[in-house]
Amino acid sequence: MTLQQEIFEQIKKHQRIIIHRHQRPDPDAIGSQIGLAEIIRASFPMKTVLAVGKQIGGLSWIGEMDTADDDDYDDALVIVTDTANPPRVDDNRYTNGQELIKIDHHPDDDPYGDLAWVVPSASSSSEMIFDLYHQFKHELTLNAKAAKALYAGIIGDTGRFLYSATTPHTMRVAASLMATGFDVTAVNQKLDSIPLSVAHLSAYVYQNLTITEDGAATVCLTSEVLDQFDLKDAGTAGVVPLPGKIESVVCWAIFVVQRDGTYRVRLRSKGPTINELAKKHDGGGHALASGAKAKDLDEVQTIQNELAAIATAYKKSKKE
């Protein structure tokens, strides 16, 4: 039996299925979670399916979270989507079910679950959920709500088909999802629009970026900066891709102050691998999109230096 067949057997076997995803969810976390929940609900109306985790206002248009009681975990199948490491799972009751399945597209540095289906080459976890549906489509139903959630996840994680994980398969999956008839333009516009405060912060980011000669860009969003634009950490996601638009930039880090005075580090790259750097600083992620933590401004400086060295080594390797 393939992994996907084993997962499908577990879905068929369990009466109650609880689906988790990672904290601070992005469209792929919510999209893969809601997409899977909707596919199972539409295909097996007698089953109870709960999508759990903190409700994030800005993403509730993809789908609402459900409430699970502790008792709901007895005999339940728990599936965690889009989450590489156990500490990042939203709602730590995820281990309380009868069976645990991990479905994810991040590098499998921290395996967990009775079954783990991990495809780092997939553009997104939402693409994987579509693949699962497609493999068993004679027994599963994909409605427009599920398709919209999965499409949102794919365009979220690929930067609307810009990043290198976008494959011909990704485009075919997106086409199949679009064919279900949800309002594609509305989803594209929703994920493309930003509040005015974020537009102002974008101007700040471009004005205040430090760019090394070899193309490492960094900017630090301190509490003074966030207060100036009346934004909190969660509101800064829209500026993360911006430095990559600059021709000379090959990799970049955006440091965002947290309530406890530490810094969240959001690392991105157009070429050199940056997840090894992330791992050195209590983080991880994909080769070209990672996250880490800096306990103070000294560690921020260390990461800036390390990123600059990565850009320099990359430039050198390109010349050779």
The CB-nearest residue to ligand AMP is 291
Roughly how many angstroms between the first and final C-alpha of the chain, as a whole number? 46
How far is Cα 302 from Cα 317, in angstroms, rounded to an integer?
Answer: 23
Distance between CA atoms of 161 and 126, rounded to whole angstroms? 14
Cα–Cα distance for residue pair 196/117, rounded to 1 Å:
40
In whole angstroms, the minimum distance from the beta carbon of 137 to ligand AMP comes to: 28
Q: How far apart are CA 130 and CA 140, in angstroms?
A: 11
How far apart are CB 250 and ligand AMP at their closest, in Å?
17
Distance of CA 212 to the CA centre of its chain: 28
What residues between 92 and 151 interact with ligand AMP by CB under 6 A?
106
**H or E element, residue 209:** none
Q: How far apart are CA 166 and CA 180, in angstroms?
A: 21
How far apart are CB 97 and ligand AMP at their closest, in Å?
Answer: 22
> Closer CB to ligand AMP, residue 133 or residue 263?
263
Which lies closer to ligand AMP via its Cβ, residue 82 or residue 214? Answer: 82
Find the binder of ligand AMP among 78, 84, 142, 274 (CB under 6 A).
84
Draw the binding track, 273-292, toward ligand AMP (x: CB under 6 A; -: no contact): ----------xxxx--xxx-
Q: How many residues bind ligand AMP (CB under 6 A)?
A: 12
Q: Compute the least distance from the CB of residue 299 to ligand AMP, in Å.
A: 14
Least spacing, CB of residue 14 vs ligand AMP, in Å: 27
Please tell me whether residue 59 binds ligand AMP under the rule CB under 6 A: no
Position among 23, 85, 180, 197 found at the interface with ligand AMP (CB under 6 A) = 85
Is residue 102 within 8 A of residue 115, CB to CB? The reply is: yes
Shortest Cβ 266–ligand AMP spacing (Å): 4
Q: Which is nearer to ligand AMP, 142 or 205 (CB)?
A: 205
Looking at beta carbons, which pairs linking 69-77 to residues 24 or more positions away fall under 8 Å? 70/96, 72/16, 72/18, 72/48, 73/18, 73/97, 74/98, 75/14, 75/15, 75/16, 76/14, 76/16, 76/17, 76/18, 77/10, 77/11, 77/13, 77/14, 77/16, 77/17, 77/18, 77/101
Residue nearer to ligand AMP on the CB measure, 17 or 294: 294
Residue 243 engages ligand AMP in binding (rule: CB under 6 A): no
Smallest distance from the beta carbon of 286 to ligand AMP, in angstroms? 5
Residue reference for tokens 């709500």: 145
Residue ranges binding ligand AMP (CB under 6 A): 84-85, 106, 266, 283-286, 289-291, 293
